[in-house]
Structure 1
Amino acid sequence: MTQEFTTTETLDVRGQNCPMPVVKTKQSVDDLESGDVLEVLATDPGSESDLGGWADSTDGVALLEQDQTEMDGETVYTHYVRVE
């Protein structure tokens, strides 16, 4: 991970499957301001492609980075989304 930004808020959607990580991310982004960065924690492996596709097709957001780590015995996919 080469994080060069400050996280404004963290959204924990661990244990939730498609489409909830994207739905909850969109809801959270709607409450943020331009320049804010949302950190999304997910356990759904599909969240990598789902959030990437959503960010690519959504005006006003940018997917900055995605990372994968082991946390409490499970794989956690961390996504960083910036409001443009």
Structure 2
Amino acid sequence: MMTDLVLIEQFDSRTAAEVARSILEANDIPVTFEADDAGEMIPHLAPVRLMVGSADEAEAREILSEAMKSTDEAGEEGVDGEPTA
């Protein structure tokens, strides 16, 4: 059970937060998030805050950083392997 929660990332959408949450949970890191978005009716009211237990903070940051690098590198080439403009 997580007791001391630490904010590790903020997202503009629940979808992006859910992707990050899935990545962390796949690596056995429990995650919670908070969103003051009126039950998704006003999604840009406030950012979605992704939090983990303080004991998992360093590992969670590293995992998300690596995931972002992979996404950035994949975005540098088009579907056919050619660089995008």
Of structures 1 and 2, the larger Rg is shown by 2
Structure with bigger helix share is: 2
- TM-score, length of structure 2 as denominator length: 0.41
- TM-score, length of structure 1 as denominator length: 0.41
Structure with bigger strand share is: 1
